[in-house]
Structure 1
Amino acid sequence: MNVLIVDDEISAIEAVQNGIQWDKLEIRNIYTATNVKDAIRRLGDYPIDILLSDIEMPMGSGLELLKWTNEHVPNVKCIFMTCHADFHFLQEAMRLGSLDYILKPLDYSKVEHVLSNTIEKIHTESILKENSNSWIQNKKTVVKQFWKDFFLGEISPNRDSLTNYFRQKRLDFDLEKGYLPILIVTKKWTEEFSKVDQKLLQYALRNIADELVVIHETEKDMISFSDTSVLVMLRMNPGLDVKHLYKRIEECCRLLIDAAEKYIKEIVCCYVGLKQTIYDMPAIIESLQEGDFNNVIYESNVFFLHQWTFHKAELDYSDNSTAKWREWLKQGRYDQVLIEISARLTTQEQKITINRDFLTKFSRDFYYLIFAFASDRHVFINELFGDERSFKLLERASESLDDLFVWVNHAMDLMRNFDKTNANRDNPVERTKTYIQLHLSEEVSMEQIANHVHLNADYLTRIFKKEVGVSISRYLINKKMEMSKDLLIHTDKSIGEVAMLVGYYNYSSFNRIFTKETGISPQEFKNNYKSNV
């Protein structure tokens, strides 16, 4: 019996080598590797029986190594080592398959116990292999590959193509049998997990599904369909009672849903297709995927394709809700807006019609409400929602009802805080006057002023002239001239210095504008004042 130990830390490998009584376990050879690449090389060079591997390594994870092993040397048994101390619930789920899971720091007596059980399992399978041929051992792999090729369109769904494929691969598929797919999808996790941990949980889900989805009088093929889904294909005789079949499937799926939530913290939905010929399977799978795509209510459930009713996403705004909510926001009634939105989207009748298209349309209309809020307060919308988190939440708002509510609550909090922070904020005209007064010594552009008060330049120009009676540019020149006169009269500064202090860095420009505005040059103005004193 040969063992391969894989860990990126050499000290950890040495600890395992020295801490376990290998002779007691009848382990003949112990090989080691410090990364996935080296491990794959060892698996190719030596007849490995047991793989004892760390999960997280810098040059490829243990999960990647397991995937390669399952594809190329499927008889090797894998045991994972990890520091995730909060994964006790996962151990029970893992025992449903051939994979076991040991926590670090290692308890060597427990490791020996797990290795002993694994060795016993290998001996048992070895006895079974002696009574069968290699084809039986590889059949599951060939069947899984067939379904993948079939659903990817590599094999045409007609009798000749399928017959030729089955003949070449030595598969005993009966084209006259009935087929029924069950798509099992993880909708969300009830706890926070890393990407690596999520892959591990999906592996556990497949094991649980294989253990619990047992339909008598059928043959079952289990396929990892995507990163978040498992596909179960049932094959059965044409005469099997469909009503009884659906009842048994629902019972199994309910057990699966409960186990997934309890052991691996996943919210799972099962989508059950129709019992049809093998030629109909690609279209039925596509319908199941469409149903899952439009299932934006992330609650565990079992859905049967023959019971589905598709609805168009129609928003009922007969009472002009958006306009009403806009008025409520003007009045500071944020909670009332949230309460009404929640009431509209969480009734059982409403949930039936909610799909991706519905969420997209609602998000669009709610964004109009935000735009109206910004317009009513004379600010740019980016001043409210220009941060990266707001952008990401808006992107996800059409993926699920939960995501939509997260976005709505986030937006309402930002609007509430804005109003609270700016409760005594001056109007934009007064802010424009203040900004000009503070920046008379600079060359101020219209764009700078508009950006400061967060308004469109044309709009600011219109409301300023309406309230003040002159344009912003005229008001700016008037203030500069007032300050120039005061400096010329009450200080001994030169005309060049005065020009600089009122934002004219070119003496000729200041002289020309002052002469035009007053009728005399700056020097004449200064001389006239002194002669009258």
Structure 2
Amino acid sequence: MLQLLIVDDEIHAVEGIRSGVNWDKLGISSVLTAYTVKQAKDVFESERIDIMLCDIEMPQASGLELTEWVNEYYPQTLTIFLTCHADFKYAKQALQLGSIDYILKPIPFAELENTIQKAIDKIQKDSELAQFSQYGQFWFQHQPMLIERFWMDLIHQAIPPVAEAVRNAAAERNIPYDEAMTVVPILLGVQRWHKKLTLREEKIMEYALKNAAEELIIGNKQHGQIIALDSGRLLAILPADSQAEFELHLKNKCERYIEACVQYFYCDLSCYIGSLVHGQDMYAMVNQLREVEKRNVAYNNKVFQVANYQVESSHHELPNMELWAVMLKEGEFVKVLQEATTYLEHKVKQDRLDANLLQLFYQDFQQMMYVALQNKGIQAHQLFSDPVSLTFTETATRSVTNLIAWMNHTIGRAVEFLSTIEQSESVVHRVISYIKRHIAEDLSREDIANHVFLNPDYLTRIFKKEMGLAISDYLFQERLKLAQDLLVKTEMPISAIASHVGYANFSHFSRMFKKHTDMNPIEYRQRYQQRDS
């Protein structure tokens, strides 16, 4: 008989599930409960749990964190997530591809019973697995976390890539190892997400990617394994007696997996199929797969076979950016964008775009853009320091798709701002508004220029042409007017007035006030308050 644990911080939700499901019909002998992650861990230490129903959002620690702990220490337990967040609906669709489901609250009990039944079927199927090979079952079913750590140590060279060292490491960990056993590694790399995801949502989606890979790539090869390498990257390891076994079917499996990822996980993803290797050769092969992934800047959602991948030394033919620079000077930003995009797309069609060429193009194009903006008085580092622009910049050289997106953003933002500075009135108006909002602060000409993304000298010329005086003179006039009004119309202490109009030094304020009114602040207040009365 099976035991099930419900983990939810809402007592009513727990009791609702306990009373709403026909446990006897499902063959669940015992239903245990926990209201915190700590309580759940205590249950695991004293009871065998076959299935866990777990809420995601809980105080102190999340259901995702609990599941990671369970997978490490109790990997035989299957988890079904529960949540009340409807905007995770796409994650639910994704997770249904794997053996673990994702159910929205309020819980539809019929759906929950069906999901639990699927989990029970999987448990029974796993327990009835036949002996796949002399070593396959031990490698990929017995102590899965220990096996995963063994592979990770091989990949990171914690175990030296030497046959004797690998054999000794396996013996020390009580892992059956046959030096003749061979495997095919496959690197699965996310290229970009089509939806903006929080870190929590991205973690859910990566968890679903792993489940989908187990379903669609490992398939009925129950002794295969999926390992999470780092953010957005998985490694599938499939045992094989010969490379020929995979040549006909593995590429098709990866293509179906990619189609599912695009449809359900809202991402672009490519698969990189390695060659058949022994354990001691895993480190070198994974590095080779990573290099192929790094070099792939031209293609999205594609399957690469490392055996057929050739690195060709290419002559990098960069476009004539001197011509584009002249076009930018004349304001032809959109035409430059069109020509640059056409150039990159043409290189992709010729199969002549590699990571090196993409990097060179990006550096030259960025330099050309920044010089063009500088000539127009725009400070590029200010215009592109917002979080969205920084994200585009950070990912620009990962692929041609990202680079074209960066060019569209950079040129679009430049064109938008140039259209505003062509009308000096709008810039001057923004400067005046900024001065009035920050008049009590220690404002410099550079502070004001940074606010409108312009070079201070260029801004001074625009401002003086429109207003007839320098920005510093205008700032002082506004402070003096405000100080005069406050002296006459309020009983504020003069030191407080000085601070309110941006003077931290009371003596300096008094000297400047007298220099321009022939009276100190006390005399001014006495004269004009009496006049008003």
| TM-score, normalised by the number of residues in structure 1 | 0.72
Gaps of 5+ in 2: 428-442, 463-468, 474-509, 519-533
Query: Superposed, which structure 2 residues align to 1:264-413 within 5 Å?
Result: 264-297=265-298, 299-310=300-311, 316-317=317-318, 319=320, 321=321, 323-349=322-348, 352-382=351-381, 384-413=383-412
Deviation of the 1:91 alpha carbon: 5.4
**Does the Cα contact within 8 Å between 1:188 and 1:298 map onto a contact in 2?**
no
**Does the Cα contact within 8 Å between 2:218 and 2:225 map onto a contact in 1?**
no
Call closer, same or farther: CA 1:163–1:387 in 2, change over 3 Å.
closer
Please state if 1:230 is matched with 2:234: yes
Q: Amino acid of the residue matched to residue 420 of structure 2?
A: T
Q: Amino acid of the residue matched to residue 310 of structure 1?
A: V
Q: 1:70 maps to which residue?
A: 71
Query: Which whole-Å CA distance do the structure 2 matches of 1:181 and 1:68 have between them?
Result: 26
Q: Secondary structure at the match of 1:174?
A: coil
Query: Which whole-Å CA distance do the structure 2 matches of 1:49 and 1:64 have between them?
Result: 18
Q: Secondary structure at the match of 1:2?
A: strand
Query: Which whole-Å CA distance do the structure 1 matches of 2:89 and 2:319 have between them?
Result: 53
Query: Superposed, which structure 2 residues align to 1:91-102 within 5 Å?
Result: 94=95, 97-102=98-103
Call closer, same or farther: CA 1:370–1:295 in 2, change over 3 Å.
same
Q: 2:108 maps to which residue?
A: 107
Q: Secondary structure at the match of 2:79?
A: strand
Deviation of the 1:402 alpha carbon: 2.7
**Does the Cα contact within 8 Å between 2:55 and 2:81 map onto a contact in 1?**
yes
Q: 1:180 maps to which residue?
A: 184
Call closer, same or farther: CA 1:415–1:351 in 2, change over 3 Å.
farther
**Does the Cα contact within 8 Å between 1:394 and 1:407 map onto a contact in 2?**
yes
Please state if 1:247 is matched with 2:251: no
Query: Which whole-Å CA distance do the structure 2 matches of 1:48 and 1:216 have between them?
Result: 25
Call closer, same or farther: CA 1:25–1:313 in 2, change over 3 Å.
same
Call closer, same or farther: CA 1:387–1:504 in 2, change over 3 Å.
farther
Q: Secondary structure at the match of 1:138?
A: coil
Q: 2:523 maps to which residue?
A: none
Please state if 1:46 is matched with 2:47: yes
Call closer, same or farther: CA 1:420–1:4 in 2, change over 3 Å.
same
**Does the Cα contact within 8 Å between 1:344 and 1:350 map onto a contact in 2?**
no
Query: Superposed, which structure 2 residues align to 1:460-475 within 5 Å?
Result: none
Deviation of the 1:411 alpha carbon: 1.9
Q: Secondary structure at the match of 2:146?
A: helix
Call closer, same or farther: CA 1:327–1:124 in 2, change over 3 Å.
closer
**Does the Cα contact within 8 Å between 2:318 and 2:361 map onto a contact in 1?**
no
Gaps of 5+ in 1: 429-443, 465-471, 477-502, 512-533
Q: Amino acid of the residue matched to residue 347 of structure 1?
A: H
Q: 1:9 maps to which residue?
A: 10
Deviation of the 1:224 alpha carbon: 2.6
Q: 2:206 maps to which residue?
A: 202
Deviation of the 1:506 alpha carbon: 10
Q: Secondary structure at the match of 2:268?
A: strand
Cα RMSD for the two superposed structures: 4.3
Call closer, same or farther: CA 1:274–1:373 in 2, change over 3 Å.
same
Call closer, same or farther: CA 1:417–1:97 in 2, change over 3 Å.
closer
Deviation of the 1:51 alpha carbon: 0.7
**Does the Cα contact within 8 Å between 2:227 and 2:235 map onto a contact in 1?**
yes
Q: 2:21 maps to which residue?
A: 20
Deviation of the 1:12 alpha carbon: 1.9
Q: Amino acid of the residue matched to residue 365 of structure 1?
A: D
Q: 2:166 maps to which residue?
A: 162
Query: Which whole-Å CA distance do the structure 1 matches of 2:45 and 2:350 have between them?
Result: 54
Query: Which whole-Å CA distance do the structure 1 matches of 2:17 and 2:401 have between them?
Result: 46
Q: 1:147 maps to which residue?
A: 151
**Does the Cα contact within 8 Å between 1:215 and 1:248 map onto a contact in 2?**
no
Q: Amino acid of the residue matched to residue 340 of structure 2?
A: I
How many equivalent pairs are there? 455
| Greater shift in the superposed pair: 207-216 or 390-399 | 207-216
Deviation of the 1:337 alpha carbon: 0.9
**Does the Cα contact within 8 Å between 1:334 and 1:412 map onto a contact in 2?**
yes
User: How big is each residue's C-alpha offset from its partner over 1:64-120, in whole Å with a ceiling of 9 and x where there is no partner?
Assistant: 222221221122222211235466666565455432332221112322333344345
Query: Which whole-Å CA distance do the structure 2 matches of 1:264 and 1:387 have between them?
Result: 28
Query: Which whole-Å CA distance do the structure 2 matches of 1:143 and 1:276 have between them?
Result: 17
**Does the Cα contact within 8 Å between 2:9 and 2:58 map onto a contact in 1?**
yes
Larger Rg: 1
Query: Which whole-Å CA distance do the structure 1 matches of 2:89 and 2:423 have between them?
Result: 55
Q: Secondary structure at the match of 1:254?
A: helix
Q: Secondary structure at the match of 1:233?
A: strand
Deviation of the 1:13 alpha carbon: 1.8
Call closer, same or farther: CA 1:24–1:362 in 2, change over 3 Å.
same
Call closer, same or farther: CA 1:73–1:244 in 2, change over 3 Å.
closer
**Does the Cα contact within 8 Å between 2:319 and 2:343 map onto a contact in 1?**
no
**Does the Cα contact within 8 Å between 1:218 and 1:234 map onto a contact in 2?**
no
Call closer, same or farther: CA 1:404–1:277 in 2, change over 3 Å.
same
Q: 1:31 maps to which residue?
A: 32
Call closer, same or farther: CA 1:311–1:55 in 2, change over 3 Å.
farther
Call closer, same or farther: CA 1:74–1:392 in 2, change over 3 Å.
closer
Q: Amino acid of the residue matched to residue 233 of structure 1?
A: I
Call closer, same or farther: CA 1:8–1:456 in 2, change over 3 Å.
same
Deviation of the 1:6 alpha carbon: 0.9
**Does the Cα contact within 8 Å between 1:315 and 1:362 map onto a contact in 2?**
no
Q: 2:531 maps to which residue?
A: none
Query: Which whole-Å CA distance do the structure 2 matches of 1:507 and 1:115 have between them?
Result: 84
Q: Amino acid of the residue matched to residue 331 of structure 1?
A: E
Query: Which whole-Å CA distance do the structure 2 matches of 1:149 and 1:268 have between them?
Result: 26
Query: Which whole-Å CA distance do the structure 1 matches of 2:5 and 2:453 have between them?
Result: 68
Query: Which whole-Å CA distance do the structure 2 matches of 1:456 and 1:114 have between them?
Result: 65
Q: Secondary structure at the match of 2:211?
A: helix
**Does the Cα contact within 8 Å between 1:2 and 1:29 map onto a contact in 2?**
yes
Deviation of the 1:63 alpha carbon: 2.3
Q: Amino acid of the residue matched to residue 235 of structure 1?
A: P
Query: Which whole-Å CA distance do the structure 2 matches of 1:508 and 1:191 have between them?
Result: 61
